[in-house]
């Protein structure tokens, strides 16, 4: 929608007595933008009284009001930061986003491309990234679940299949965590999924090549410091009893 049209709507709402928060929720405009647009819009004494009463009610909530204010502050930070990212992403930006996400979350050991996570956003992003960057379709992927005994294996497979487009027959046997007093119940609602690309060893090394090229400016400095502190690598690992 045209910015001027949105601005006019915001002004009309303000004149009718709506707060910045109410206008923000209606139009999806950040409060900082509304403050700039509406700073000269006059309010009636009744409208000011309503805003004041509402503020008193919020403050009377004590610690709860602090929690709510912080929640609003965080929401504002996230919304304003999201506006700094311009879409569509360039090919290089998109390629490196997936490469670094794999570097952080994917398998580093020799072998096929694998990523394990419980976050649907990360998994779906990587599945789409594989298709866009390497032309690897969901039907070519393999998957395994890691779930709790009280969870429904088939239903969770259906969830991930619906999300990613992986056929149900591409899911291997799930790992069911043994009963233990130490695990958290109902914490990972969708379990944890491992996605694998068959015959993908070279592809994985190519991804690490992209990462290496991005880090080239700090490579020599990093290796120099690692060499200086090489003695740390000699620390013995604890024995699991």
User: How many domains is the chain built from?
Assistant: 2
122-175 tens-digit pLDDT: 999 999 999 999 999 999 999 999 998 989 999 999 999 999 999 999 999 999
Task: Report the alpha-carbon distance of residue 185 to residue 182 in Å, rounded.
Answer: 9
53 and 114 inside one domain: no
- 204 vs 68: CA distance, rounded Å: 44
State whether 44 and 159 are in the same domain: no
Q: Who's near 136: CB < 8 A, 6+ residues apart? A: 130, 197
Q: What is the reported pLDDT for 96?
A: 97
Same domain, 56 and 113: no
Same domain, 163 and 202: yes
Q: Residue 195 domain-assigned?
A: yes
Domain assignment of residue 236, yes or no: no
- 229 is a domain residue: no
**pLDDT tens string 27-37:** 888 888 888 88
For the whole prediction, is pTM greater than 0.85?
no
Judgement on whether residues 166 and 55 belong to the same structural domain of the protein: no
Beta carbons within 10 angstroms of residue 228's beta carbon: 9
For residue 23, count CB atoms less than 10 angstroms from its CB and return exposed for 0-12, middle for 13-18, buried for 19 or more: buried
Q: Which domain holds residue 171?
A: 91-220
Same domain for 71 and 99: no
Residues 75 and 96 in one domain: no
Return the minimum-mean-pLDDT range out of 8-17, 184-193, 226-235: 184-193
Provide the pLDDT confidence category of residue 72 given band limits of 50, 70 and 90. confident
Per-residue pLDDT for 212 more than 90?
Answer: yes
Q: Are 78 and 124 contained in the same domain?
A: no
Do 32 and 15 lie in one domain? The reply is: yes
Q: Does the residue 231 lie in any domain?
A: no
Single residue among 47, 82, 117 that ends a domain in this structure: 82
| Domain membership flag for residue 136 | yes
For residues 105 and 200, membership in a common domain is answered with: yes
The Cα angle at residue 90 between residues 2 and 205, in degrees rounded to 5: 155
Residue 105 domain flag: yes
């Amino acid at each position: 929608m045209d910015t001027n049209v949105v601005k006019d709507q915001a002004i009309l709402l303000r004149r009718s007595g709506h707060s910045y928060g109410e206008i923000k929720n209606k139009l999806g405009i950040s409060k900082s933008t509304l403050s700039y647009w509406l700073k000269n819009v006059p309010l009636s004494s009744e409208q000011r009284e309503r805003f004041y009463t509402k503020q008193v009610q919020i403050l009377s909530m004590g610690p709860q009001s602090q929690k709510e204010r912080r929640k609003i502050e965080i929401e504002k930070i996230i919304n304003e930061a999201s506006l700094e990212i311009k879409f569509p992403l360039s090919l290089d930006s998109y390629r490196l986003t997936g490469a670094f996400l794999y570097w952080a979350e994917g398998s580093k050991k020799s072998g096929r491309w694998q990523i394990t996570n419980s976050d649907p956003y990360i998994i779906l992003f990587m599945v789409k990234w594989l298709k866009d960057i390497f032309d690897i379709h969901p039907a070519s992927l393999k998957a395994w679940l890691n779930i709790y005994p009280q969870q429904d294996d088939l239903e969770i497979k259906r969830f991930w299949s619906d999300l990613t487009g992986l056929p149900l027959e591409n899911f291997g046997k799930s790992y069911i965590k043994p009963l233990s007093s130490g695990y958290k119940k109902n914490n990972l609602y969708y379990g944890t999924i491992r996605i694998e690309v068959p015959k993908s060893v070279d592809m994985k090394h190519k991804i690490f090549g992209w990462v290496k090229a991005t880090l080239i400016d700090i490579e020599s400095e990093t290796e120099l410091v690692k060499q200086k502190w090489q003695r740390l690598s000699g620390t013995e690992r604890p024995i699991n009893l």
